[in-house]
Structure 1
Amino acid sequence: MARITVKQLNGPVLCEDGANLLDQLLRGGAFVDNPCSGKGICGKCKVRILSGKTCEMSDTEKNLLKEQEIREGIRLACMTEVYGDVEVELLKKERKHEVLTRGYLPEFEKDTFGGGYGIVIDIGTTTVVTALIDLVSGEELASASMINAQKHYGLDVLTRITYEYEHPQTGIRELQDAIVHSINGMITEVCDEAEIPKEEIREIDVAANCTMMHMLLGVDARSIGRAPYRPEFTEAKRLPASGIGIEAGKDTLLYCLPQVSGYIGADIVAGAYVCALQKEKGRVLFIDIGTNGEIVLASQGRILCCSCAAGPALEGMNISSGMRAAEGAIEDVKITPEGNEIKVIGGQEPVGICGSGILAVVKELLRTGIVKKTGAFIKKEKLEEDDYRFPMIRVNGTKREFVLHEKPEILVTQGDVRQVQLAKGAILSGFTALLEKAAITMGDLDKVMIAGQFGAHLPAESLVGTGILPEEVKDKLIYVGNSSKTGAYMALMSARAKQEIEELASEMEYIELAETENYERIFADSMIFP
């Protein structure tokens, strides 16, 4: 047996000799950043081995660490096996995240209730938001938010689906237990705050992406991760909340909003309903940008939708110094002749850069000519030494890097720019493909509505400056906030809203981008920066 003692944990973690260190740390409740879910790709799960025997370091692990880190005993937990007693120091603490809980609420007719309370929940891949609602007044009495506890099984939907593949006997139940336990904790929190007994909750309405909805209900999500990417269900669900372990009233109803496809979930249907796309006379583009970019186009009574794999770069992952939008994350950047002006969440010393920050810095790199429209850094030797940009570019072997911040050192690498470029290409190509399908242009759009946690932090300058959106729509952007939660609220308060949301889901036409004519050309053109 091996005994892992963690400096920041109260008790040791016991395991078999040869056990994977990351798995055991997560099992023991330690926070270890692992965006790639232990695949040995991201290089973020760094810990310091203070004493004890571990496996030899592989060449792959050495390439992901700096020489100084190796000398200091730092290892990647996902690539380390433990033998006997090992003492470990965690290098990162979990930071307070910014979570968007509010959004645009249109006027609508509410039902009349005789009493009681309701709960609305928005389950995102990254965050979960819960609110307690007085059914009589429609007032929000309390709200709670947290990072999705399923993060231990992967930071995106595909790594969590992979977890189900790799753990066929236990994975589905583990993922369900994680989210249900989180929901129970938040329900207790909001009820305690409002001094309301949980037994008085009559209904819980949930909006979530398709994978999260499957995992909440304990339904196998593996079919969403393989071609033809068909979910086990898309229709709205009504069932007793107690049936999946949610602790509320004995007869509390759980209502799960409908979905369209494996990658257009109830969160997007809810957002489309909040924005009244089914009633739009004009041409409106609705966007929810995250690890996946979900896009809905309403044009002359037709509602088209698609999903593009933007990748985790826009949420700060797969970026060399990337992190979630938490305290210490750089969220905005301005490059000037006097140096880099940065804005940090929480107003403290920076420790990394989040999604809005990486978009802002790429926008600035393009504006100042440090990065060309092909996505490549300019050659440092082509700059005069008195050029203010000269010291900002560092040559690391054959690679060029931008020095964003010196102490602590935060760099933007060529690989980081390429990650943003791939995300930009995926999102813009999705817009373009939908517009071509509807036979309209960007200039024909009346409004572009941006929803979601990440979208709320994206100024028009970054979206247009990086070319995710073209210049023609810069003055047509409308930010609608957490429309997923708002849609769940409307469903809770109105039986008619429930019916209309279900009708809307059935009317939305899903377009598979990979099967779109000339999509490879559209994607290649969309990769070029402005």
Structure 2
Amino acid sequence: MFELTLHLNHQTQSIPVEAGQSISEILQQHVPSFALPCAGNHTCGKCRVQASGALSPLSNAEKKFLTDTDIQAGIRLACDCTILGNAAVTVQTEQKARIIAWYQTPPFEKTETGYGFAVDIGTTTVAVQLIQRETGRILAERLAENAQRSYGADVISRIEACKTAGLDTLSDRIAQQIEQLAQECLQEAGICAVSESIVTGNATMLHIYEGLDPASLAVSPFDVQSYFGCFSRRTLAGAPVYLPRCIGAYVGADIICAILAADLEHGGTQLLADIGTNGEMALFHADKLLCCATAAGPAFEGAGISAGMPAASGAIRAVSLQDDTVHYETVQDAPAVGICGSGILDALAVMLETEEMDDSGYLEPQDEDAEDWAIGTSGISITQKDIRQIQLAKSAICGGLLTLLDEEGMEPEDIQRFVIAGGFGSTMNHASAAKIGLFPAGLQDKTVFIGNGALGGAAMLLLNRALREKTEQMAQNAEELSLSTSPSFMDYYIDCMAFDEF
């Protein structure tokens, strides 16, 4: 048995370890917030720590992702570095993300009294709001990155982690995180108790929260153990928790809540896209609700991008071309340390404009000596691999939207209102998004942003009990279009790989 000295947030602790343990394995146990975006598959290079002592030699993966400067500074990849004896690890304090929690909802009657929580368990982020139910006033809120992120950035990684680390481990971790955030809200507002809460999320997140094995969600025919639309086995702050109904394995309660918040069933033919790690979409036309989901992946939220990060202080959030010069803006106007999703879209749009990237995604910087595209004087660059990651994600979103329209024999011009929901969707420049082909250009002038629609819908269910029955009926009547078996989607997916307007 050896000793690992862990330096974290100006605190030091000694941890007994065994030879052969990876640093990531140790951090999963002792630093639950430590992120492993690729679930420890050595493909993202994001799990960087400073380490010294008796450690395994640098692996090929580490040599690929780390610069000479990194190596000289003692930087290692936690997933690929094992303990051979006494060692020390320093985990850098991470900036908190500026997670978008605002939302817009249509006018509705508030019928309930007392206090309650609206909670959205996102694959990447968790939002908790304490609300006065008579008025809808938000008394306190907490926003955090999902505590399960040390088990991977996407739902497939989390499902696999339920097999390896244990379902109870992931279930308790998210439940404890939500409880902690709720207690902080109560303390801030000076409230002793709540009447009940609404917890929404995609089907995988709700299964894990409830302690239901999500394994069947990852394999055909994608069966669910529960569609929910019921009260949880758990409580939050000692009060009952209602779980909205899902439509299917990949069209969850979060999209039903977003549909409610978007008022999608009123006002003619409408299209909704909730853009996040899971791209969920809904089309309402002729009294029919057609939904689908596509695996966009976490690239829009920074994971898998070389300099990618959440929308935290120092993240490049906007990029523009002014007088042939590349300009950029960062969150809180802090020095640039990385780039978030909205900045990536802008950067790609500028690269198309300057013809330093062609519509196939091939990068050819004007500086012949450069391999990457530099964002002005920020010191941050976009790599060819970054472009390919965004290419896959945006193709999945645009292909899904076109498949929905094709299923109903419609064109983008037939849509009267295009609603974008989700934290990423709230910050992006829709002109840049249309220019690179994230969604059909015919929808650009019809675009409205509603923010975190899942959280907004959860708040509506908290304030008006009758809406719960409405969403349950909505979910039961909705049709789910399986993109995995759709020939149209595969064709659109390939076509939408081009960085062009569709």
> What is the TM-score when the length of structure 2 is the normalising length?
0.95
Residue of structure 2 equivalent to 1:190 = 185
Letter in 2 for 1:224: L
Residue of structure 2 equivalent to 1:232 = 225
Residue 276 of structure 1: CA displacement? Answer: 2.4
Residue of structure 1 equivalent to 2:415 = 445
Identical residues among aligned pairs (%): 33
SS in 2 for 1:324: coil
Residue of structure 2 equivalent to 1:87 = 88
Residue of structure 2 equivalent to 1:384 = none
Letter in 2 for 1:59: N
Cα deviation code 1:93-149 (max 9, x no counterpart) = 211211222211211223254xx3222111111222222222334433222222221
Look at both structures and tell me which one has the larger radius of gyration over its CA atoms: 1
Residue of structure 2 equivalent to 1:40 = 42
CA distance in 2, matches of 1:484, 1:247: 18
CA distance in 1, matches of 2:143, 2:78: 29
Letter in 1 for 2:401: F
SS in 2 for 1:278: coil
Residue 436 of structure 1: CA displacement? Answer: 0.6
TM alignment of 1:39-438, pairs within 5 A: 39-50=41-52, 52-90=53-91, 92-111=92-111, 113=113, 116-167=114-165, 171-198=166-193, 201-239=194-232, 243-244=233-234, 246-249=235-238, 252-280=239-267, 282-336=268-322, 339-378=325-364, 390-391=366-367, 394-395=369-370, 400-404=371-375, 409-438=379-408
Structure 1 stretch displaced more, 120-129 or 429-438: 120-129
Letter in 2 for 1:503: Q
Q: 2:429 aligns with which of 420, 443, 459?
A: 459
Structure 2 portions without partners, runs of 5+: none
SS in 1 for 2:345: helix
CA distance in 2, matches of 1:20, 1:47: 12
Contact kept, 8 Å, 1:5 with 1:86, in 2: the verdict is: yes
CA distance in 1, matches of 2:32, 2:287: 51
Cα 1:440–1:453 change in 2 (3 A) is: same
Letter in 1 for 2:23: L
Contact kept, 8 Å, 1:288 with 1:451, in 2: the verdict is: yes
Cα deviation code 1:288-321 (max 9, x no counterpart) = 0111211101111111111111122111111111
Residue 31 of structure 1: CA displacement? Answer: 5.6
Cα deviation code 1:341-360 (max 9, x no counterpart) = 11111211111111111111
Cα 1:302–1:59 change in 2 (3 A) is: same
Cα 1:31–1:130 change in 2 (3 A) is: closer
Structure 1 portions without partners, runs of 5+: 381-389
Contact kept, 8 Å, 2:35 with 2:149, in 1: the verdict is: no
CA distance in 2, matches of 1:483, 1:31: 25
CA distance in 2, matches of 1:300, 1:124: 31
Residue 48 of structure 1: CA displacement? Answer: 2.5
SS in 1 for 2:372: strand
Contact kept, 8 Å, 2:400 with 2:489, in 1: the verdict is: no
CA distance in 1, matches of 2:248, 2:277: 17
SS in 1 for 2:85: strand
Residue 59 of structure 1: CA displacement? Answer: 2.3
CA distance in 1, matches of 2:376, 2:74: 25
The answer to whether structure 1 residue 18 and structure 2 residue 4 are counterparts is no
Letter in 1 for 2:231: R
Residue 248 of structure 1: CA displacement? Answer: 2.4
Contact kept, 8 Å, 1:13 with 1:25, in 2: the verdict is: no
Letter in 1 for 2:400: G
SS in 2 for 1:420: helix
Letter in 1 for 2:250: Y
Residue 73 of structure 1: CA displacement? Answer: 3.0
Residue 406 of structure 1: CA displacement? Answer: 5.2
Contact kept, 8 Å, 1:31 with 1:94, in 2: the verdict is: no
SS in 1 for 2:171: helix
Cα deviation code 1:76-100 (max 9, x no counterpart) = 111111022102233x321121122
Contact kept, 8 Å, 2:55 with 2:83, in 1: the verdict is: yes
SS in 1 for 2:195: strand
CA distance in 1, matches of 2:160, 2:339: 27
Letter in 1 for 2:150: H
CA distance in 1, matches of 2:244, 2:457: 9
CA distance in 1, matches of 2:101, 2:306: 29
Residue of structure 2 equivalent to 1:383 = none
Residue 338 of structure 1: CA displacement? Answer: 5.5
Structure 1 stretch displaced more, 330-339 or 173-182: 330-339
Contact kept, 8 Å, 1:154 with 1:160, in 2: the verdict is: yes
Contact kept, 8 Å, 2:299 with 2:341, in 1: the verdict is: yes
Letter in 1 for 2:138: E
CA distance in 2, matches of 1:305, 1:394: 47
Cα 1:412–1:138 change in 2 (3 A) is: closer
SS in 1 for 2:228: coil
Contact kept, 8 Å, 2:123 with 2:155, in 1: the verdict is: yes
Q: What RMSD, in angstroms, separates the aligned Cα atoms of the two structures? A: 1.9
Contact kept, 8 Å, 1:273 with 1:504, in 2: the verdict is: no
Contact kept, 8 Å, 2:317 with 2:331, in 1: the verdict is: yes
CA distance in 1, matches of 2:35, 2:201: 24
CA distance in 2, matches of 1:355, 1:213: 26
Cα 1:154–1:139 change in 2 (3 A) is: same
Letter in 2 for 1:403: A
Cα deviation code 1:58-87 (max 9, x no counterpart) = 223322222333344322111111022102
Residue 394 of structure 1: CA displacement? Answer: 4.1
Contact kept, 8 Å, 1:394 with 1:401, in 2: the verdict is: no
Cα 1:119–1:69 change in 2 (3 A) is: closer
CA distance in 2, matches of 1:186, 1:32: 18
> What is the TM-score when the length of structure 1 is the normalising length?
0.90
Letter in 2 for 1:418: R
Cα 1:335–1:13 change in 2 (3 A) is: farther
CA distance in 1, matches of 2:289, 2:428: 25
Residue of structure 2 equivalent to 1:387 = none
Letter in 2 for 1:45: C
Residue 32 of structure 1: CA displacement? Answer: 4.1
Residue 30 of structure 1: CA displacement? Answer: 7.3
